[in-house]
Amino acid sequence: MDASTGPGAPLNLHFSEDGLYAAHVGGKALVVHSNVASESKEVQLARLKEIPVKSLKFFNFGNASGLSHDEIAPRRRILSANDSRISVWQVNPLGIFADIESIEPGTLAVDFGCDENEVLVFHAWNTKMSIHSLDTGRSSVIKTPKFAHHLGFGYRPKTRQLAILLKPDTSDLLTVHEPRSYELVNRAVLSTIDAQGLKWSPDGKWIAVWDAASAGTKVLIFTADGQLFRTYTGPSGVDDTFDLGIKQIEWSPASDQGTCQTLAVGKVNGNIDLLRTRTFSSATTLSHVFQADQQCIWRERYTSAAGDAEYAETSSSSAFNMSPETAGPPRGVLTMAFSPDGRLLASVDTSRQNVVWIWSLESTPRLASALVHEQPVRQIAWHASTPQLLINTMSNGLPTIRWWSPQDHPVIAQVPVQRNESGKYDMKWAIDSNVDSVFWFGSSEEHVIGYLSAQNGGVEFEVLNLVSSKSSVAHGGSLGR
């Protein structure tokens, strides 16, 4: 998503992982919003040396350490980049921390490395990835990365070893490197036709690499030091003649004991294989099919001409009838997301993109609930610490958010934000210990942050803060040099 670069251009907010900071480009300034969920909200501005800005990213502290908000605050960084310069900004207070100049033409992507003091640059044609250390001034190079996006590489949680897919010739390679020095730990030639990505398990014990769908079901499981441990090729005893392969994979969060217990393998045929990490064999297969006696199915329905809506319980046959299979792209699991405790899995299937399926994974996995909507689902997002799910659908009408929890009746609420003619809105939880269940919602022109509250027998969105492309710069802050 490109940042805005002039008057009337889209706002395009970029968020820190916890949602407590937001940044965008306004005119020739970098604009950063902090304390967004409180009355002491702050706007800082700093002049950019060059525009347009093509990339804007916060450093993600997610798996780097167990730091508190107070410990993270002085280390927050933002990266801005264009064709010739990469700037790294400290956030508190806002100012330039370091510049990387004379960038080679055709850069594919830039990102932070193992911590806030490293910057990755993916060069044209994927010839190499450069790692720039901001505290030592040194650079390292890894040649022929296969991809210039997050599925092509990953850092091990806590200890920060790098695993990366390479494509030097006809074979895919997986290499593992020490943090900071990037010395080679191990190198493995993969038995893949066309590896699609890799993901570390949240406990840092495993690296999973999955092959192209044309290869059928194939997931390679490596230990943290790059040794092949298992190859998963599908459930045992199942005819694989018509195996359509893998769409994506997702690890469950680490448990209270610090171990990751499940790997979900989303298939092109619409099924999800659940692998237990003890053996990496299929324990259960989930199918996106309504059963005749299925309970807890909720159907979206409009209650007024003004666009008010609510969820009403419905039968499985009714849900099936209002969610016809989508014609066009090949089917497959579109989205998978585990709840923070790993006990629930939410999924969306390509063939019925208007349905969110919520599976209970305790004891015998089963379908716990399904939510059927008028429009395709755009995003689903679990709260980071409690089992609350936000659902964002495409909307031709008024901006609307949907909320589900296992203990409560699901709700639908209009959000007082500027209507977007494209029907595309974005959402983001803001994880603040002082304010419960706060989230962002908006479009490229305007975002609001707030929470849902019960009002007069219904539910309303309470606004805490608003950021607009027309007013965000004028509402506070001073322009630094």
pLDDT digit string, tens, across residues 165-187? 999 999 999 999 999 999 999 99
pLDDT number for residue 37: 86
By C-alpha distance, which of 118, 124, 102, 120 is closest to 110? 120
DSSP 215: G
Spell out the long-range contacts of 90-97 with Cβ–Cβ below 8 A and sequence spacing 24 or more. 91/21, 91/32, 91/34, 91/44, 92/34, 93/44, 94/30, 94/32, 94/44, 94/45, 94/46, 94/480, 95/46, 95/480, 96/46, 97/134
Lookup: tokens for 210: 């999955």
Task: Answer for the pair 89, 76: CB distance below 8 angstroms, yes or no.
Answer: no
Other beta carbons less than 10 A from residue 190's beta carbon: 21
Lookup: tokens for 207: 């690296």
pLDDT number for residue 471: 57
Task: Answer for the pair 271, 287: CB distance below 8 angstroms, yes or no.
Answer: yes
pLDDT number for residue 330: 63
Residue indicated by tokens 């949240």: 202
pLDDT number for residue 327: 54
Vertex 224: Cα angle to 150 and 65 (nearest 5): 65
**CATH architecture assigned to 133-284:** 7 Propeller (2.130)
The whole-number mean pLDDT for each consecutive block of 10 residues of the chain, a chain of 481 residues, reads 42 91 94 89 94 94 66 90 95 96 93 97 97 95 98 96 97 97 98 98 97 97 98 87 93 92 96 96 92 86 86 81 58 94 97 96 93 96 96 92 95 94 94 83 94 87 90 44 35
Strand 458-468, strand 479-480: pairing: unpaired
Q: Provide the residue ranges of all domains of the chain, joining segments of one domain with +.
A: 133-284
